[in-house]
Amino acid sequence: MEQIILIVHLLVALAIIGLIMLQQGKGADMGASFGAGASQTLFGSAGSGNALTKATSWLVVVFFATSFGLALLATQKTASVDDLGLELPPAAEQQAAPASDAADSDLPEVNEEVPEVQAAPEGDVPEL
């Protein structure tokens, strides 16, 4: 689905670029009003503004719709996934470690003092 939207998005973007390049600027209408080749245009003397403007506006609507669709797909892909395929036991089945295991541990207790760091002997450190 994402590839289809992406291809449509790319084709619409290229079509918008092409239609914008076909349209004349506002200064070009000034010369056409004095008879400078208005009958030689593709859409006749009425001008191409109306047809190209409508086509461009519809393509812009499709472009924004595909942009919004791609943004929604991107946010769904980057959403955090909690399922790692691991089965966790319910909280009621988990038991705290018995107190006897804590006494056998090599870790210091909270009330014990932390031993001080001993300074290195002076002869072992090279002088700079």
Within a domain: residue 117? no
**Are 20 and 74 a contacting pair, CB within 8 Å?**
no
Alpha-carbon distances of 53 from 15, 43, 62, 106, 125, rounded to whole Å: 13, 13, 14, 79, 81
- How many domains does the structure of the chain reveal? 1
- Mean pLDDT score across all residues of the chain: 74
Q: Is 6 part of any domain?
A: yes
- Residue 53 domain flag: yes
pLDDT of residue 125: 64
Compute the half-sphere exposure of residue 45: CA atoms within 13 Å on the CB side of its CA. 6
Instruction: Indicate the range of 13-17, 54-58, 90-94 predicted with least confidence.
Output: 90-94
Q: Is 86 inside any structural domain? A: no
pLDDT digits (tens, 9 = 90+) for 27-64: 655 555 565 555 555 555 555 568 888 999 999 999 99
Domain membership flag for residue 11: yes
* Residue 1 in domain: yes
- The answer to whether residue 9 is domain-embedded is yes
Please give the Cα distance from 24 to 33 (Å, whole number). Answer: 13
Domain hosting residue 71, numbered range: 1-20+48-78
